[in-house]
Amino acid sequence: MAIDMKIERQILRRTETSDEEIVVNFGPQHPSTHGVINFVTQTTGEIIRRSVPEVGYLHRGLEKIGEMVTYPGYMPFTDRIDYVAAMFANEGYALAVERLLGIEAPPRAQYLRAIAGELCRISSHFIAVGTMATDIGAATPLTHGLRERESVNDLIEELCGARLTFNYHRIGGVSFDAPAGWSDKVLRFLDHLDSYIQEWDRLISFNQIYVDRLANVGVITREQAVDYGLVGPNLRGSGVQWDIRRDLSYGAYPDFAFDIPVGTGRFGTVGDCWDRYYVRVQEMLESSKIIRQALAKLPEGEIMAKVARKPKPDAGEAVGRVESARGEMLYYVVSDGSEKAYRLRVRTGSFLAMGIIEELSRGIMVADLIAIIASLDIVAPEIDR
């Protein structure tokens, strides 16, 4: 990943090859790459010799923009870092700036952040597991996943008026309180979700063809997952029980009881594609638990702390870490005392997942590369920023 991609291409092309070895561009417009990403792939027939991610097609200078606009003015840009799970991108940035300012969101706002975030996690995971099934060759599950995602989007739209780029969080709280009757609608959806996951498992998770296709494919050992810095379901799929919500708790999460699903090698080897897939299915049920607890204990009070219109935090630095749908999302913000950040840095789960693909690609079938990329739940804007 440290080598310039143009040089990497030249290295691949200069590699000694037989007449049967060719270099193929898998992307940047391939539907199974989940965004504008290219994988420079050297193959011998159907066997991959190596596949090197080539990123940068979607770079938009989002970190630099964070140094050019005011602190509140950057919040809408965070939605574009991960448009599939934008709530987490909002919250991570808000936490970092709040720590610079030495303020904390009111309890009600913290609970609303947790509710909105877990709804967003459910929505994102339905896209992840639905598109993964489609990549493998099963068309029907994606339509089911999209249907459930639309139900979640209806709830989020009622909360903040948006369905994709939410801009719901604010430095010091959230933009809108929960409308009257909204909690009951959320609970009705969760009742449906808890029973529907069983139907989903019958449809695809435990489908023998699907299991045989993913078990023992793309195995990432516990040691590899840690060494390559994987986060979120990709780390937990290898049996590592690490979750920012519990282990470096923030916001309202210390008030909730929930489990951390990990890969168990149920049908194959711990850390295979099926384990990473099923961790996400189980996490949707854990999100349901968290939302139920948050709604039951939702405190009264304000939803915004007192924050200047153009805050100027003292010179210093702060970090905001959240457990996004794709794992740890980290914001590093440096203040020089002005109304704009001196430096802003974002670290995301999809970018970290890129590092292990070359290692996993050696000696596998071309079709298995599709399964591995899908199981890592890569979203292109998270990679390039």
pLDDT for position 9: 52
Cα 360 from Cα 219, distance rounded (Å): 8
Tokens describing residue 36: 């504008």
SS3 331: strand
Which part of the chain has CATH 1.10.645.10? 62-384
Nearest to 375 by CA among 363, 357, 362: 357
Cα 101 from Cα 342, distance rounded (Å): 15
The string of DSSP codes covering 123-134 is HHHHHHHHHHHH
Cα 114 from Cα 356, distance rounded (Å): 31
Q: Provide the angle, in degrees to the nearest 10, between the axes of the packed helices 140-160 and 107-136.
A: 160
Contact yes or no for 189/151 (Cβ under 8 A): yes
Cα 77 from Cα 222, distance rounded (Å): 35
Tokens describing residue 305: 């702390």
Nearest to 237 by CA among 349, 134, 348: 349
Residues of the chain short of pLDDT 50, as ranges, are: 1-3, 7, 11, 14-16
pLDDT tens profile 109-127: 999 999 999 999 999 999 9
What pTM value is reported for the model? 0.89
pLDDT for position 59: 87
pLDDT for position 249: 92
- Find out whether the peptide bond into 107 is cis, omega within 30 degrees of 0: no
Contact yes or no for 112/305 (Cβ under 8 A): no
User: How far is residue 30 from each of residues 26, 111, 158, 175, 198, measured CA to CA in Å?
Assistant: 7, 40, 35, 38, 32
Contact yes or no for 234/332 (Cβ under 8 A): no
CB count within 10 Å of CB 337 equals 10
Nearest 10 degrees: Cα torsion 269, 53, 377, 277: -10
pLDDT for position 188: 96
Count Cα neighbours of 130 within 13 Å in the Cβ-side half-sphere.
17
Tokens describing residue 299: 């405190």
Arithmetic mean of pLDDT over the chain: 89
Q: What are residue 223's phi and psi, to 5 degrees?
A: -65, -40
Instruction: From the options 2.60.40.740, 1.10.645.10, 3.30.420.40, 2.60.40.1930, give the CATH code of 62-384.
Output: 1.10.645.10
Locate all alpha helices (DSSP H) within the chain, ordered by sequence. Answer: 5-14, 62-65, 75-78, 86-101, 107-136, 140-160, 182-200, 208-214, 222-227, 233-236, 244-247, 273-296, 349-354, 357-361, 366-375, 380-384
